Amino acid sequence: MKKTVLLCTLLMAITAMAMAKNRKIKVITPYGTMVIRLWDQTPKHRDNFLKLSRQHFYDSTLFHRVIKQFMIQGGDPDSKRAKPGAPLGEGDVGYTIPPEFQLDLFHRKGALAAARDDNPTKSSSGCQFYIVQGKTFTDEQLDHLEKTRLGGRKIPVDQREIYKTEGGSPHLDQNYTVFGQVIKGMEVIDKIAAVKTDSLNRPLENVPMKIRVIKKWLLF
């Protein structure tokens, strides 16, 4: 009996660990579906995003701010009922999330990161997020960024190579929390980033989304 209880406990523990690692979600849009892996190094952001996704919080919200060669932003609850042309970006859930900056999580193309206002602690919005499109950089451009926007902080060699080949938005590194990465459907970012927008960077035609947690059980 004791052995059976111990085995069940062990299996439950292994299952919980397996489910907690590398959670994936899918973002469903009129332009296709993106699959995103959420990073375990940012547990507060990961768990909050999973909670909201399970509650279907993001269903019918819009990608309300789109800037080509930079990023696509969404998650504002006010966007569900917004009239055409109405300014968006101020909606929230009444709480923020402490920053979880990690040196190995950076703003490469496809990075999922938390939006925020200009608060001194750099705490993240409880719901709004963006996905990086970015652009590619030369060594000279990255050198200039290090001296200016990055305040002298050096971009690691491996990250520099990715910014030169795949692209991204390096000026945001260590200022906004990256907590996931698109692993499938990268072309969807480019399609959304190419839509026509108004003077507030809101798409002229709504780009709604649904977000679902991908359930995957893996014991061994």
What pLDDT shows up at residue 18?
47
Distance CA 191, CA 128 (A): 20
pLDDT band at 215, cuts 50/70/90? confident
Distance CA 211, CA 201 (A): 22
Q: List, for residues 172-211, the tens digit of each pLDDT value.
A: 999 999 999 999 999 999 999 999 999 999 999 999 999 9
126 Cβ neighbours under 8 A, 6+ residues apart: 48, 92, 93, 94, 95, 96, 97
Strand 32-38 to 24-29 pairing: antiparallel
CATH class of the domain comprising 22-213: mainly beta
Model-wide pTM > 0.85: yes
Q: List, for residues 33-83, the tens digit of each pLDDT value.
A: 999 999 999 999 999 999 999 999 999 999 999 999 999 999 999 999 999
2 Cβ neighbours under 8 A, 6+ residues apart: none
pLDDT at 113 over 80: yes
What pLDDT shows up at residue 153?
94
Domain segments of the chain: what residues? 22-213
Tokens of 63: 């990608």
Q: What is the CA radius of gyration of the chain?
A: 19
DSSP symbol at 80 = G
